[in-house]
Amino acid sequence: MASSSAKTVAEYLASLEPEHRAVVGAVRRVIRRNLPRGYQEVMAWGMIAYQVPLKRYPDTYNRKPLMYAALARQKHRYTVYLTSVYQDAVQLAEFKDAYMSTGKRLSMGKSCVHFRSLDQLPVDLIGREIASVPVDEFIRRYEVSRRGLASKGRKATTGVRASPRTKVKTAPKK
């Protein structure tokens, strides 16, 4: 299952094979037990997502809620997305060091941790990481990164520089 069309978390879980449902359910319990107040669990992007509701923070670059974390069963693996480690280089380095100190193999993209079975994932570390960033801090980090991209002439959506052909209107000369 690469991306689910399920509308609810319950529907998503019901669509999984029992052995996959057990793994996703175990990681989901850890996430929910450690999730700071202010985030909500929903189905988004074809996976279980934990996000900042738009009513709490509507000023996003794509008019969608800010995703804090997510969990998915994919074709040959499971993935936990930890957006907060992508936002902060120090937090990322600490996370990688802590992960490696568990003796488990780390398979990681920018913010996603891949694993093939529950025993390959240090769930306590995932719980600590989920608990580490309250919603106000997550929003603050987002705003800082967004301002940083804007000051460099980049779009917040992709980090790509604005086209040099873009015309900037200036006040008429007097």
**pLDDT, tens digit, 9 for 90 and up, residues 10-63:** 999 999 999 999 999 999 999 999 999 999 999 999 999 999 999 999 999 899
Residue 159 reports pLDDT greater than 60 = no
Q: Residues 58, 123: contact at Cβ < 8 Å?
A: no
Residue 145: exposed, middle, or buried by beta-carbon count in 10 A (0-12, 13-18, 19+)?
middle
What are the tens digits of pLDDT across the range 57-94? 999 989 999 999 999 999 899 999 999 998 889 999 99
Cβ atoms within 10 A of the Cβ of 78, count?
A: 20
Burial class (CB in 10 A: 0-12, 13-18, 19+), 12: buried
CATH number of 9-147, picked from 3.30.70.1060, 3.40.120.10, 3.90.1150.200, 3.40.50.740: 3.90.1150.200
Tokens coding 115? 């694993």
Q: CA 171 to CA 35: how far, in whole Å? A: 49
Average pLDDT, the chain: 85
Domain ranges of the chain: 9-147
Quote the CA–CA distance of 167 and 38 in Å, as a whole number: 40
Convert the pLDDT of each residue in 109-157 to its tens digit: 988 999 999 999 999 999 999 999 999 999 999 998 877 655 555 554 4
pLDDT value at residue 149: 54
What is the reported pLDDT for 28?
Answer: 98
